[in-house]
A and B are shown apart, each in its own frame.
Chain A
Amino acid sequence: GQNIDQPTEMTATEGAIVQINCTYQTSGFNGLFWYQQHAGEAPTFLSYNVLDGLEEKGRFSSFLSRSKGYSYLLLKELQMKDSASYLCAVMDSNYQLIWGAGTKLIIKP
């Protein structure tokens, strides 16, 4: 079966750095996505990784290791508005997205 695992909830402090991990087991691999979802709202696209390594976009970075079936999302200089759920999704060999349950990130002042 296909499976995406990420922690259910994490807590961090404003101004700090947090790393949200995602491990996956899928039928094929055609890229990994990270989305941000604020409570009651639709997900919005954050990043895409298809090759091993680190992709940086401002305060957010995403890392991929295909051999380990592992990715992480790194958030720096945390702000209160970063409080949200972060969804990891993998595109399988049929180009369908397999979604993790999401990690709820709580930012404390």
Chain B
Amino acid sequence: SQTIHQWPATLVQPVGSPLSLECTVEGTSNPNLYWYRQAAGRGLQLLFYSVGIGQISSEVPQNLSASRPQDRQFILSSKKLLLSDSGFYLCAWRGGEDTGELFFGEGSRLTVL
């Protein structure tokens, strides 16, 4: 069966520090992968999606970047965090042969101070 994991689960980082969140999927090949951010009381905001190795589409211009160095690995990064980067980050892959529903990782809670 397919599984998706992301880490770390919780981060407290100072403004201006770097960020790296990692996501891996197992049990499937060439998955469509997504990074979302969820701010309190707001809907999920799509940040990046990838349909294959090295293929990244950015939905929102900001100081975050994403990379897909391997088929089942998706990384979210920042060189210098801003206060506004605080939030709940979710990695997902599109499964569901009939419906295309998303399956989410556990989530990473980022607090920038």
Contacts and interface: CB of A to CB of B under 8 A. Distances in A.
Interface of A: 4, 8, 31, 33, 40-45, 48, 50, 87, 89, 91, 95-97, 99-102
Given A42-B104, A42-B105, A101-B41, A96 B99 contact: no
B43 A42 contact: no
A97 B99 contact: no
Interface string B74-113: 0000000000000000100000100111111111010000
29 contacts: A4-B43, A8-B41, A31-B99, A33-B101, A40-B107, A41-B106, A41-B107, A42-B104, A42-B105, A42-B107, A43-B44, A43-B90, A43-B104, A44-B104, A45-B96, A45-B103, A48-B96, A87-B44, A89-B44, A95-B100, A96-B46, A97-B44, A99-B43, A99-B44, A99-B45, A101-B41, A101-B42, A101-B43, A102-B43
Contact of B99 (A41, A43, A48): A48
B106 A48 contact: no
Nearest to A46: B101
Contact of A87 (B43, B100, B106): B43
A89 B41 CA distance: 15
Contacts of B44: 43, 87, 89, 97, 99
Given A8-B41, A48-B99, 6 more contacts: A41-B106, A42-B105, A43-B102, A43-B104, A99-B45, A101-B43
A34 B40 CA distance: 19
B41 A48 contact: no
Contacts of A89: 44
Contacts of A100: 43
The 9 closest A-B pairs by CB, nearest first: A99-B43, A42-B104, A48-B99, A99-B44, A101-B43, A45-B101, A42-B107, A101-B42, A100-B43
